[in-house]
């Protein structure tokens, strides 16, 4: 049986939306970070689905790029989080608001 | 071969003096400032004398010098930097540089103790620059440049003691009143451009001369507008009100600007435009009427003044009235003659008054003077020469010029008799108030307090020589200055009148009447009698009878009150002009336009910008999740747009 592409896309959209919701709702900066990863993977799924559907390799290559970037982002992002935690003793994003007017 | 006269250099000397003292004067030592201030007017005077020598050697006049490059050139109109030298200009040049230099010399002594010494002299030099431009100009536009320039310097020098409110106010008053006259002058120039397409004297006057039928009409309009300009500058009725207040300036300024030169610019201008005025009998009559009325009313106001400089101010207004009268009866050369003699004796009167004020440490009220004859001998004798001259006593300068004007007026038709009579009465009044000044200042019991302070313990004494020499020079000129115009009726040659003949063509209608020597002699005698009458009246009231304290009971008489309050003219102007203008400005222009429209527009825009940015500012909260929310909402909106438009295509 062939799974219709719409199912993949629905799953992809669901993952992405969950990521967005987590990003917006959560206060802990690590959870926010994880939500971003979730969004990236939701997008990855859509890429793969389309690559499979159209039998083109572009989408898969894109996914590799996304994974590489995500890995780099994880490394840098976690380092930043640790630096922030050391200087401010909190991981609550609502308290890290120095850049407002 | 016509020699090059380098006329353009003439105004540039004082301009250089102004530039040097105006820029570096503050840092230069006082002696150097004086040197610069005196050297440049002296250079101008020397060149004028050289020009006189050239003319004497037979240089043909008029002499025109024009710069190749036009000043203003637009379609249908152009004006040049061009200077004109003729007999009239020459007389004015001599008066301006001669009297001007003498007054500069005097100022070195008079202003020695004042702050802003360099500022004073830079303005004085600037004044000479503009005045020379005015008299040398060969077109109305360049004349107007000088005209406005002397007005500016007059404003600056009246307000020289700018820390005094009254001085600053007087400066503003002079400037604003002159605007009214200048408005007339400008309109006259516009009319000239519209009808002649040029402002050059030569073009306009030869055009008028070429059309004998051109009479009245637009020429009357132009002449009357020019007259309005002249009444402003020369302090004639109805615009004379600024001159008495102008006495707030330093005394040498009153002598140079507000007596000898600038205020006579109106007379010069009318004489210069005599071709135009000659074609409009109505305008001429107006000139004569304005002059006579001013002469009379100013003389009556001068009678009761107690401030020595204000007496002289009203006297100046009155004497310029005589010059206007002369122009009005087409006796232009006599007007210029009186201009010249007046510049001698009135400058002297002011300088001598300044010497008295100087000696008393700043007292200007004649009620606090008296008995100064012995203390200030040189001042007294030079002042005496001037008083005799202005009163018209033979053989002082004023006798010849004033008598010539009155004689010409008498012979100017039926209306002339009326004008002559008023002029004669005015001559009596003039004699009266001048001798009143003379007696109150120099005779009787001393009423002054010995000044203390910087003069030390020497008591009242005559001024330094640098001030006395100018007094002596002008004193001699007040005596002999009129002899150049010794009338034919008294056995002279009227050399001055014949010298100016080429400028004014055939002498005016009034004078072309076959010379009636007997009549002129009788008129001279009458003038002398009236002047002596004024003298005796003053003698009776101010010498034989001791001066009543505080001017006595006369203060209660209505006529005295009327004159004392200067006919309430300032108050009438205040109620009729100043008040309504102020009210209109405050209510409509300030509250309505300034606050409402201009400020309102600005405020509305700033409020809009402020509110809008205030709203947008909330988006930058610093809250990361709200940024994320906006980001998500934005991308969602973008997505919707893309989907919608994709659907369209």
In this predicted structure, the answer to whether residue B620 has a pLDDT above a threshold of 80 is no
**Å between A1 CA and nearest CA of chain B:** 31
Q: Which residue has the higher pLDDT, B23 or B495?
A: B23
Give residue B550's pLDDT band: very low, low, confident or very high (50, 70, 90): very low
Chain A residues close to B620, C-beta within 8 Å? 100-101
In this predicted structure, the answer to whether residue A3 has a pLDDT above a threshold of 80 is yes
Lowest mean pLDDT among B64-78, B177-191, B347-361: B64-78
Q: How many CB pairs under 8 A join A and B?
A: 31
Q: Which residue has the higher pLDDT, B167 or B556?
A: B167
> What is the mean pLDDT of the segment spanning B344-356?
91
pTM of the model: 0.78
Question: Choosing among A9, A20, A21, A38, which should be mutated to test the B contact, i.e. which has the most B CBs within 10 A?
Answer: A20
pLDDT at B394: 81
pLDDT digits (tens, 9 = 90+) for B622-643: 777 788 888 889 999 999 999 8
The encoded tokens of residue B290 equal: 């304005």
CA distance linking residue B399 with residue B314, whole number of Å: 19
Question: Choosing among B625, B630, B633, B636, which should be mutated to test the A contact, i.e. which has the most A CBs within 10 A?
Answer: B625
pLDDT at B547: 55
Burial of B581 (0-12, 13-18, 19+ CB in 10 A): exposed
pLDDT at B306: 84
Q: Which residue has the higher pLDDT, B575 or B144?
A: B144
pLDDT at B507: 45
Lowest mean pLDDT among A81-95, B214-228, B453-467: B453-467
Does any CB of chain A come closer than 8 Å to the CB of residue B624?
yes
Lowest mean pLDDT among B44-48, B398-402, B492-496, B584-588: B492-496
**Å between B632 CA and nearest CA of chain A:** 8
Cβ distance B355 to B471 under 8 Å? yes
Give residue A99's pLDDT band: very low, low, confident or very high (50, 70, 90): low
In this predicted structure, the answer to whether residue B262 has a pLDDT above a threshold of 60 is yes
Chain A residues close to B629, C-beta within 8 Å? 24
Q: Which residue has the higher pLDDT, B465 or B132?
A: B132
pLDDT digits (tens, 9 = 90+) for B556-599: 577 777 777 777 788 888 888 888 888 888 888 888 888 888 89
Beta-carbon-side half-sphere exposure of residue B79 (alpha carbons within 13 Å): 21
Give residue B509's pLDDT band: very low, low, confident or very high (50, 70, 90): very low
pLDDT at B623: 75
Cα end-to-end distance, chain A, whole Å: 57
Give the chain A residue whose CA is nearest to the CA of B628: A24
Which residues, at least 6 apart from B234, have a Cβ–Cβ distance to it below 8 Å? Answer: B263, B264, B265, B266, B267, B320, B323, B324
**Å between B631 CA and nearest CA of chain A:** 10
Give residue B212's pLDDT band: very low, low, confident or very high (50, 70, 90): confident
Chain A residues close to B621, C-beta within 8 Å? 97, 100
Give residue B453's pLDDT band: very low, low, confident or very high (50, 70, 90): low
In this predicted structure, the answer to whether residue A49 has a pLDDT above a threshold of 90 is yes
Chain B residues close to A20, C-beta within 8 Å? 632
The encoded tokens of residue B64 equal: 């025109």
Closest CA to B338 of B135, B107, B500: B500
**Å between A99 CA and nearest CA of chain B:** 5
Verify whether the Cβ–Cβ distance B628 to A100 is below 8 Å: no
Verify whether the Cβ–Cβ distance B624 to A101 is below 8 Å: no
Cβ distance B128 to B100 under 8 Å? yes
The per-residue pLDDT of chain B, averaged, comes to 85
Give the chain A residue whose CA is nearest to the CA of B633: A20
In this predicted structure, the answer to whether residue B506 has a pLDDT above a threshold of 70 is no
Q: Which residue has the higher pLDDT, B478 or B3?
A: B478
CA distance linking residue A59 with residue A65, whole number of Å: 10
The encoded tokens of residue B410 equal: 């008498």
Q: What is the DSSP string of B362-400?
A: S--BGGG----TTTSHHHHHHHHHHHHHHHT-TTSHHHH
> What is the mean pLDDT of the segment spanning B517-536?
86
Verify whether the Cβ–Cβ distance B625 to A93 is below 8 Å: yes
> What is the mean pLDDT of the segment spanning A42-62?
92
> What is the mean pLDDT of the segment spanning B220-242?
90
Which secondary-structure segment (H or E) carries B286? helix B281-304
Cβ distance B268 to B339 under 8 Å? yes
Cβ distance B225 to B193 under 8 Å? no
Cβ distance B335 to B320 under 8 Å? no
pLDDT digits (tens, 9 = 90+) for B385-400: 999 999 888 888 888 8
CA distance linking residue B262 with residue B99, whole number of Å: 12
The encoded tokens of residue B623 equal: 């809250």
3-class SS of residue B485: helix
Residue B27: CB atoms within 10 A of its CB come to 9
pLDDT at B362: 79
Verify whether the Cβ–Cβ distance A101 to B622 is below 8 Å: yes
């Amino acid at each position: 049986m062939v799974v219709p592409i719409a199912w993949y896309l629905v799953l992809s959209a669901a993952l992405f939306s969950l990521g967005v919701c987590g990003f917006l709702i959560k206060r802990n900066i690590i959870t926010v970070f994880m939500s971003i990863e979730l969004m990236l993977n939701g997008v990855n799924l859509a890429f793969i689905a389309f690559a499979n559907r159209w039998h083109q390799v572009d989408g898969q290559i894109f996914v590799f790029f996304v994974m590489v970037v995500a890995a780099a982002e994880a490394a840098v992002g976690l380092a930043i989080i640790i630096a922030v935690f050391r200087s401010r003793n909190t991981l609550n994003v609502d308290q890290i608001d120095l850049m407002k007017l | 071969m016509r020699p090059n006269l380098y006329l353009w250099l003439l105004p540039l000397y004082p301009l250089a003096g102004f530039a040097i003292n105006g820029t570096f004067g503050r840092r230069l030592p006082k002696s150097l400032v004086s040197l610069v201030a005196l050297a440049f007017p002296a250079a101008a005077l020397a060149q004028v004398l050289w020009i006189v020598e050239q003319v004497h050697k037979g240089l043909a006049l008029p002499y025109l010098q024009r710069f190749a490059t036009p000043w203003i050139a637009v379609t249908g109109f152009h004006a040049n930097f061009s200077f004109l030298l003729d007999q009239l200009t020459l007389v004015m040049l001599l008066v301006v540089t001669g009297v001007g230099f003498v007054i500069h010399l005097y100022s070195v002594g008079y202003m020695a103790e004042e702050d802003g010494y360099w500022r004073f002299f830079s303005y004085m030099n600037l004044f000479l620059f503009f005045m020379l431009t005015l008299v040398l100009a060969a077109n109305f536009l360049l004349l107007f440049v000088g005209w406005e320039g002397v007005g500016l310097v007059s404003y600056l020098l009246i307000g020289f003691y700018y820390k005094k409110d009254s001085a600053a106010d007087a400066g503003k008053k002079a400037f604003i009143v002159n605007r009214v006259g200048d408005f007339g002058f400008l309109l006259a120039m516009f009319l000239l451009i519209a009808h002649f397409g040029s402002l050059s004297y030569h073009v306009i006057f030869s055009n008028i001369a070429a059309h004998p039928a051109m009479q009245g009409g637009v020429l009357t309009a132009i002449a009357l507008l020019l007259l309005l300009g002249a009444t402003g500058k020369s302090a004639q009725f109805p615009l004379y009100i600024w001159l008495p207040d102008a006495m707030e300036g330093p005394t040498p300024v009153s002598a140079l600007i507000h007596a000898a030169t600038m205020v006579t610019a109106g007379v010069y201008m009318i004489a210069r435009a005599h071709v135009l005025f000659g074609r409009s009998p109505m305008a001429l009559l107006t000139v004569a009427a304005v002059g006579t009325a001013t002469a009379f009313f100013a003389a009556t106001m001068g009678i009761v003044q107690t401030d020595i400089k204000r007496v002289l101010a009203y006297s100046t207004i009155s004497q310029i009235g005589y010059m206007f009268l002369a122009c009005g009866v087409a006796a232009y050369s006599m007007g210029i003659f009186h201009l010249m003699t007046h510049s001698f004796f009135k400058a002297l009167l002011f300088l001598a008054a300044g010497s008295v004020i100087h000696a008393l440490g700043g007292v200007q009220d004649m009620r606090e003077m008296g008995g100064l004859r012995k203390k200030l001998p040189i001042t007294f004798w030079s002042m005496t020469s001037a008083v005799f001259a202005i009163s018209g006593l033979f053989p002082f300068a004023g006798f010849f010029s004033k008598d010539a004007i009155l004689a010409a007026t008498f012979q100017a038709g039926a209306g002339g008799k009326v004008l002559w009579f008023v002029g004669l009465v005015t001559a009596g009044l003039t004699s009266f108030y001048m001798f009143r000044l003379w007696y109150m200042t120099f005779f009787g019991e001393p009423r002054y307090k010995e000044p203390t302070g910087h003069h030390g313990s020497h008591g009242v004494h005559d001024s330094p020589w640098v001030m006395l020499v100018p007094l002596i020079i002008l004193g001699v000129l007040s005596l002999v200055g009129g002899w150049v115009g010794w009338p034919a009726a008294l056995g002279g040659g009227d050399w001055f009148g014949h010298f100016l003949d080429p400028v004014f063509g055939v002498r005016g209608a009034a004078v072309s009447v076959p010379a009636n020597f007997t009549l002129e002699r009788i008129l001279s005698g009458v003038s002398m009698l009236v002047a002596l009458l004024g003298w005796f009246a003053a003698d009776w009231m101010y010498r034989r009878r001791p001066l009543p304290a505080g001017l006595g009971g006369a203060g209660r008489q209505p006529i005295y009150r009327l004159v004392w309050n200067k006919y309430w003219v300032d108050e009438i102007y205040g109620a009729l002009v100043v008040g309504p203008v102020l009210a209109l400005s405050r209510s409509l222009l300030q509250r309505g336009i300034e606050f409402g429209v201009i400020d309102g527009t600005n405020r509305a825009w700033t409020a809009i910008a402020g509110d809008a940015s205030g709203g947008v500012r909330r988006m930058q909260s610093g809250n990361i999740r709200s940024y994320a929310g906006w980001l998500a909402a934005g991308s969602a909106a973008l997505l919707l747009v893309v989907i919608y438009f994709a659907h369209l295509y």
